[in-house]
């Protein structure tokens, strides 16, 4: 009896030990926090620019401080050539969430509050990887027509388990949602419930930080399996009305200090007291500068507008330091990837009463060593201050100069979560650059935008950039060189060409140099080959023919390869373990075995004459077709078997590279029927004389 009890007790202890070890099993996928700020320029961050101004100690050039962001740079990586997708918030944020550049995003130009496309997003991709997904802050991509909880692109309809946010774009222009000091009362939604009635004296930067901390803590408490989390934390400052906090940032930080979620109506956070719009950081309260450039005259106090701007940037900085302290307190800091970046360049807007000096980014040179601001495609409008920390994988004090873009983050996070990158994504994974593991691909830097205004006439800007009409604009980068077009009237307009490594201000236009004629041709051709026409955002080059290529000696048919395996979606990655391969003289997948996996067809289509070409396809499973880099047919998300999908593209006579990806299901034979026609013809299937490799 004693032995049985002993063995029973030992068995129970052994079981408890096994369970405890299982609970302590290290999480292999990192937690991910993506921090996006609103209108903060490359030059606003100490490590990028402000610290240089301080060391220079020119009293006519004031500076501000971002000590927590500087600490983040010291323990992680600075991406000094990181671009936003568009120089204004709605299209920029859409491209981040969708992982595509503006040539493929469904939100372009100034389409605020437009419904974010129902396809792969940061939220639902990471949710598929087992992440708990949360949004805190600014959304602005919900769609119109329906209101409140029924918005078609509510964050919870785009992959987020939890949302605490300003849903509408305009709400982000006021930083006290209940009091509405300068812009009127606004709405904050928790999931599908409007909660602003309880938000007395809640300054939104503090509100978002406290809500983010509270959500992170809940993930560590509620997740019995220790699933990772993804937080999209989108601040709405320093953009728009430069309202101030109620009080100093609470002492300490992390689990017990700093900003705290109180959760009581009327006092939801621990800074919901005192006087709204009152607190200026002591580093700036009595700051003076050499206002006239004459050291012999007495300095003047900073205008309050700039004290406000610097305080807002510092408040974000304090919040980020608070979050890092929380991660350390929770013992999850080593395996949490934190990304900090901005949506576009610095703004001219302040929305303050007329008694205040209007804000100008020239006071701190928020655009850094570049020209251009928000709504410009000059470097200052689109080059973003970007930092990445992940102590377990990313070494400190790295400076990464290789160009990258905001729409690379979806691919990067999918890679970190050990998932294939969806085929429709334009971005590439930045993990190889950040970790030093594996080979990295080049990012495609492409920006298009239209705005009926001018680049400001700042003395700091090169004369060739001042008062420039914007209208239709484009930017593309290859290596050290960028091509820029302003006030575009046709596809034949020349690009201005700049070496932004040796000439970051873009002052020396190399377009007239005969040595750059080949690059000029490349830019003109490439911007037609990588984008898709969007009738809601018409461009003067929409009807231009996509140039054909010289392909050399070819054989008929498309090459095909098949990689067996279970894929969560249509993958855009290379097939590394090919199961079958061959050549198809027609687009017919029936000969492929019925194993689940990816099918890839590559080669060229021969276009018989210049013109508009229309494509139509239907299949059993998800598929996607690109001609050059342009997505012409996209049935990669939510596709129903037998559904017809159509797309069009303007093509020059000749050869055009094509790739077709198909997600084969194990339960039925692969099947894809694809046809095409020009404007005057009827849809017909491809024949072998039209397909080459």
Q: Is residue 19 part of a domain?
A: no
Bigger pLDDT: 552 or 155? 155
pLDDT at 354 over 60: yes
Q: And the tokens for 331?
A: 């013992």
The verdict on 186 and 152 lying in the same domain is: yes
What average pLDDT does range 303-322 have in this prediction? 98
The verdict on 496 and 609 lying in the same domain is: no
For residue 224, what pLDDT is reported? Answer: 58
Q: What is the DSSP letter of 371?
A: -
Confidence bin at 259 (pLDDT 50/70/90) = very high
Residues 385-414 pLDDT 10s: 999 999 999 999 999 999 999 999 999 999
Tell me how far apart the alpha carbons of residues 417 and 29 are, in angstroms, rounded to a whole number.
Answer: 5
What average pLDDT does range 225-242 have in this prediction? 93
Which residues pair with residue 623 across a beta bridge? 635, 662
The verdict on 384 and 312 lying in the same domain is: yes
The verdict on 601 and 475 lying in the same domain is: no
pLDDT at 30 over 90: yes
Residues 485-538 pLDDT 10s: 999 999 999 999 999 999 999 999 999 999 999 999 999 999 999 999 999 999
Burial group, residue 296, by CB count within 10 angstroms (0-12, 13-18, 19+): exposed
Q: What is the DSSP letter of 42?
A: G
For residue 145, what pLDDT is reported? Answer: 84
Tell me how far apart the alpha carbons of residues 389 and 77 are, in angstroms, rounded to a whole number.
Answer: 7
The verdict on 179 and 208 lying in the same domain is: yes
Confidence bin at 225 (pLDDT 50/70/90) = low
pLDDT at 19 over 90: no
The verdict on 490 and 616 lying in the same domain is: no
Residue 593, domain CATH? 3.90.182.10
The verdict on 525 and 566 lying in the same domain is: no
Domain endpoint, select from 405, 440, 475: 440
Tell me how far apart the alpha carbons of residues 397 and 77 are, in angstroms, rounded to a whole number.
Answer: 6
Q: Is residue 544 part of a domain?
A: no
Confidence bin at 5 (pLDDT 50/70/90) = very low
pLDDT at 12 over 60: no
Write out the H or E segment, with its range, that includes residue 663: strand 654-664
The DSSP code sequence of 2-28 is HHHHHHHHHHHHHHHHHHHHHHTPPP-
Q: Is residue 80 part of a domain?
A: yes
Q: Is residue 550 part of a domain?
A: no
Domain endpoint, select from 475, 510, 529: 529
Tell me how far apart the alpha carbons of residues 387 and 267 are, in angstroms, rounded to a whole number.
Answer: 33
- Residues whose CB falls within 8 Å of the CB of residue 12, separated by 6 or more in sequence, listed in order: none
Q: And the tokens for 128?
A: 């598929």
User: Reduced to 3 states, what is the DSSP secondary structure of residue 381?
Assistant: helix
pLDDT at 24 over 50: no
- Burial annotation 87-104 (CB, 10 A radius, 16+ → b, else e): bbbbbbbbbbbbbbbbbb
Tell me how far apart the alpha carbons of residues 594 and 608 are, in angstroms, rounded to a whole number.
Answer: 35
Q: Is residue 170 part of a domain?
A: yes
Nearest one of 193, 650, 598 to 421, comparing CA atoms: 598
Q: What is the DSSP letter of 55?
A: H
Q: Is residue 541 part of a domain?
A: no
pLDDT at 15 over 80: no
Domain count of the chain? 3
Nearest one of 139, 107, 168 to 235, comparing CA atoms: 139
Residue 476, domain CATH? 3.30.1120
Q: How many residues are there in the chain?
A: 693
For residue 273, what pLDDT is reported? Answer: 98
The domain in which residue 687 lies consists of: 558-692
What mean pLDDT, rounded, does the chain reach?
94
The verdict on 147 and 248 lying in the same domain is: yes
- Burial annotation 207-220 (CB, 10 A radius, 16+ → b, else e): bbbbbbbbbbeebb
Query: Mapped to the 3 state alphabet, what secondary structure does 512-568 carry?
Result: CCHHHHHHHHHHHHHHHHCCCCCCCCCCCCCCCCECCECCCCCCECEEEEEEECCCC
Nearest one of 200, 184, 183, 289 to 241, comparing CA atoms: 183
What average pLDDT does range 454-466 have in this prediction? 97
Q: What is the DSSP letter of 681?
A: S
User: Reduced to 3 states, what is the DSSP secondary structure of residue 603?
Assistant: strand
Q: Is residue 488 part of a domain?
A: yes
Query: What is the share, in percent, of the chain residues with pLDDT greater than 70?
Result: 96
Domain endpoint, select from 509, 529, 549: 529
What average pLDDT does range 453-461 have in this prediction? 97
Q: Is residue 629 part of a domain?
A: yes
Contact 613, 597 (CB under 8 A): no
Tell me how far apart the alpha carbons of residues 39 and 241 are, in angstroms, rounded to a whole number.
Answer: 12
The verdict on 433 and 471 lying in the same domain is: no
Q: Could you tell me how far CA 275 lies from the centroid of its own chain?
A: 35
Residues 590-630 pLDDT 10s: 888 878 999 999 999 999 999 999 999 999 999 999 999 99
Contact 53, 61 (CB under 8 A): yes
Contact 560, 581 (CB under 8 A): yes
The verdict on 414 and 504 lying in the same domain is: no
The verdict on 425 and 452 lying in the same domain is: no
For residue 223, what pLDDT is reported? Answer: 56
Bigger pLDDT: 594 or 475? 475
Nearest one of 508, 376, 510, 520 to 447, comparing CA atoms: 376
Number of H-type helices and E-type strands within the chain: 12, 30
Cα 554–660–406 angle (5° rounding)? 115
Tell me the Ramachandran region of residue 347: left when phi exceeds 0, alpha when psi lies from -120 to 50, beta otherwise.
Answer: beta
The verdict on 335 and 368 lying in the same domain is: yes
Q: And the tokens for 472?
A: 């239709």
């Amino acid at each position: 009896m004693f032995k049985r009890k002993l063995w029973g007790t030992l068995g129970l202890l052994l079981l408890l030990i096994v369970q405890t070890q299982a609970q302590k099993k290290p999480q292999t996928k990192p937690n991910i926090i993506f921090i996006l700020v609103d209108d903060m320029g490359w030059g606003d961050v100490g490590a990028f620019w402000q610290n240089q101004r301080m060391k220079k100690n020119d009293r006519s050039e004031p500076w501000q401080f971002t000590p927590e962001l500087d600490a983040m740079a010291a323990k992680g990586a600075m991406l000094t050539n990181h671009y936003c997708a568009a120089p204004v918030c709605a299209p920029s944020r859409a491209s981040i969430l969708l992982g595509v550049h503006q040539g493929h995003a469904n939100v372009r130009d100034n389409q605020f509050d437009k419904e974010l496309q129902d396809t792969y997003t940061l939220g639902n991709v990471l949710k598929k990887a087992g992440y708990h997904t949360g949004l805190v802050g600014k959304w602005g991509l919900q769609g119109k027509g329906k209101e409140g909880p029924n918005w078609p692109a509510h964050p919870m309809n785009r992959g987020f388990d939890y949302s605490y946010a300003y849903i509408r774009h305009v709400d982000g222009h006021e930083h006290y949602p209940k009091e509405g000091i300068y812009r009127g009362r606004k709405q904050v939604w928790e999931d599908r419930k409007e909660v602003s009635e309880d938000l007395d004296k809640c300054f939104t930067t503090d509100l978002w930080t406290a809500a983010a901390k509270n959500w992170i803590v809940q993930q560590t408490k509620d997740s019995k399996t220790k699933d990772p989390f993804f937080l999209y934390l989108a601040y709405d400052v320093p953009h728009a009305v430069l309202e101030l906090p109620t009080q100093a940032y609470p002492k300490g930080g992390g689990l017990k200090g700093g900003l705290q979620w109180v959760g009581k109506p009327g006092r939801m956070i621990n800074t919901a007291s005192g006087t709204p719009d009152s607190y200026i950081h002591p580093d700036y309260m009595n700051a003076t500068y050499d206002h006239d450039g004459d050291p012999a005259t007495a300095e003047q106090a900073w205008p309050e507008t700039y004290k406000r701007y610097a305080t807002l940037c510092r408040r974000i900085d304090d919040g980020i330091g608070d979050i890092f302290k929380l991660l350390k307190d929770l013992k999850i800091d080593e395996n949490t990837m934190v990304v900090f970046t901005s949506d576009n360049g610095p703004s001219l807007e302040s929305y303050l009463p007329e008694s205040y000096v209007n804000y100008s980014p020239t006071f701190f040179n928020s655009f850094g060593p570049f020209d251009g601001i928000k709504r410009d495609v000059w470097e200052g409008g689109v080059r973003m201050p970007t930092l990445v920390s992940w102590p377990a994988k990313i070494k400190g004090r790295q400076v990464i100069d290789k160009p990258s873009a905001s729409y690379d983050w979806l691919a990067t996070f999918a890679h970190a979560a050990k998932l294939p990158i969806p085929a429709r994504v334009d971005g590439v994974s930045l993990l190889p650059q950040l970790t030093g593991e594996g080979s990295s691909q080049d990012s495609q830097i492409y920006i298009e935008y239209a705005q009926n205004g001018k680049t400001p006439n700042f003395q700091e800007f090169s004369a060739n950039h001042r008062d420039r009409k914007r209208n239709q604009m484009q930017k593309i980068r290859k290596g050290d060189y960028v091509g820029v077009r302003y006030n575009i009237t046709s596809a034949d307009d020349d690009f201005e060409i700049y070496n932004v490594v040796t000439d970051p201000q873009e002052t020396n236009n190399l377009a007239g140099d005969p040595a750059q004629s080949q690059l000029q041709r490349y830019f003109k051709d490439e911007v037609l080959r990588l984008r898709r026409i969007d009738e809601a955002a018409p461009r003067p080059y929409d009807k231009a023919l996509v140039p054909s290529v010289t392909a050399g000696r070819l054989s008929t048919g498309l090459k095909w390869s098949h990689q067996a395996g279970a894929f969560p979606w249509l993958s855009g990655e290379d097939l590394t373990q090919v199961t079958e391969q061959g050549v198809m003289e027609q687009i017919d997948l029936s000969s492929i075995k019925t194993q689940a996996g990816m099918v890839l067809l590559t080669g060229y289509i021969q276009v018989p004459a210049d013109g508009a070409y229309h494509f139509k396809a239907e299949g059993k499973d998800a598929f996607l077709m690109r001609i050059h880099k342009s997505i012409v047919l996209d049935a990669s998300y939510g596709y129903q078997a037998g559904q017809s999908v159509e797309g069009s593209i303007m093509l020059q006579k000749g050869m055009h590279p094509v790739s077709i990806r198909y997600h084969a299901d194990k339960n039925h034979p692969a099947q894809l029927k694809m046809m095409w026609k020009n404007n005057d013809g009827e849809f017909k299937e491809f024949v072998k004389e039209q397909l080459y490799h």
